[in-house]
Amino acid sequence: MKCPFCGCQSFYLKDQDDEYETYEFDVEKGEVNFHSEVNESDVPELREKTHCYCNQCAWNGKFGELKNSGG
Ligand SMILES: [Zn+2]
């Protein structure tokens, strides 16, 4: 799993209720690992359709698209 645009493996989600609240995570080795400062009990459930954003470029899209990007 990686960004289809830049190959980065670091992403973030936005809170559905507060667009300024973000949750960063990495997808190294195909596993989702939220950063240590993220309280996982606050994180929205990560589904195929969850919108996520690349940390290094302007790419954003559904989490399911990441998994289908190969690699
Ligand atoms: Zn990217």
**Beta-strand runs (E) in 1-71:** 10-14, 22-26, 33-34, 51-54, 60-62
For residue 70, pLDDT beyond 80:
no
Neighbours of ion ligand 1 (CB under 5 A): 3, 5-6, 8, 54, 56-57, 59
**Contact in structure between 63 and 48 (CB atoms under 8 Å):** yes
For residue 71, pLDDT beyond 60:
no
The domain locations on the chain are: 10-67
Helix (H, G, I), strand (E, B) or coil at 30: helix
pLDDT digit string, tens, across residues 10-68: 999 998 888 889 999 999 888 999 999 998 888 888 899 999 999 999 999 999 988 76
The length of the chain is: 71
Ligand 1 center from residue 17 Cα (angstroms): 24
The pLDDT of residue 34 is 94
CA distance 68 to 62: 10
The pLDDT of residue 58 is 97
**Contact in structure between 35 and 24 (CB atoms under 8 Å):** yes
